Amino acid sequence: MRIIISPAKKMNVREDILNYRNLPVFLEETDRIMDWMKSLSLEEAKALWGCNEKLAKQNFERFAKMELRRRLTPAILSYEGIQYQYMAPAVFENQMLAYVQEHLRILSGFYGVLKPLDGVTPYRLEMQAKAKVDGAGDLYDFWGDRLYREVLDDSHIIINLASKEYSKCIEKYLLPKDRFITCIFGELSNGKVVQKGTYAKMARGEMVRFMAENNISEPEEMK
């Protein structure tokens, strides 16, 4: 069984808590995306990111100085969004870290697929960005079915805790024998289930934590 989650825009370098274990599996592809990003002007990069001037300058400088093999942080500690705050991986016990390393996969526009203890460096690049790397129309086109093939294990069960922006990288390539279970954290409003972004992110992080604490191996146990 595999669990997929989205990355977070906010990232940091944290070398004081835990050493990273491996380099990401698609690092050669990440190298090519990085080279393409470095070829952009500040204005082009800002338009791609759709962010303000301050964030654009910060991330433009990050890419200019970026190294993919030095000063790396385990992915699960580098991302600092709401989902990761409520997951609280910095205080995971060893068996919980072992659980997420086996079952959890972080989808990324820049790195493709990450195991929690893969070493990463801060970047800004969402999956829906119109990055035309290697002649691709966008990052969905660039990655193709590689992320689906990397995420899948022998069980053919995928627990989807990712946003639509990221889950569709996998969902598009599902086969009839795959079991793709999407968890919706919503509230009943006028007879409809409404999912609110912040609460959903909080719940996704707490769900990963629950699964790691309880060593969940079957979808039924998640209830």
* Helix (H) / strand (E) containing 160: strand 157-160
For position 19, what pLDDT does the model report?
86
For position 95, what pLDDT does the model report?
97
For position 118, what pLDDT does the model report?
97
Pick from 105, 106, 165, 158: nearest CA to 139: 165
For position 3, what pLDDT does the model report?
98
Q: Rounded to two decimals, what is the model's pTM?
A: 0.94
CA distances from 84 to 87, 184, 201, 206 (A): 5, 18, 8, 9
For position 122, what pLDDT does the model report?
95
For position 18, what pLDDT does the model report?
81
For position 205, what pLDDT does the model report?
97
For position 64, what pLDDT does the model report?
93
Per-residue pLDDT of the chain (223 residues; tens, 9 = 90+): 999 999 999 998 887 778 899 999 999 999 999 999 999 999 999 999 988 899 999 999 999 999 999 999 999 999 999 999 999 999 999 999 999 999 999 999 999 999 999 999 999 999 999 999 999 999 999 999 999 999 999 999 999 999 999 999 999 999 999 999 999 998 888 899 888 889 999 999 999 999 999 999 999 999 8
- The Cα 99–Cα 58 span in angstroms is 34
For position 215, what pLDDT does the model report?
97
- The Cα 18–Cα 21 span in angstroms is 9
CA distances from 184 to 67, 150, 162, 193 (A): 37, 24, 10, 9
Residues ≥6 apart with Cβ < 8 Å to 28? none
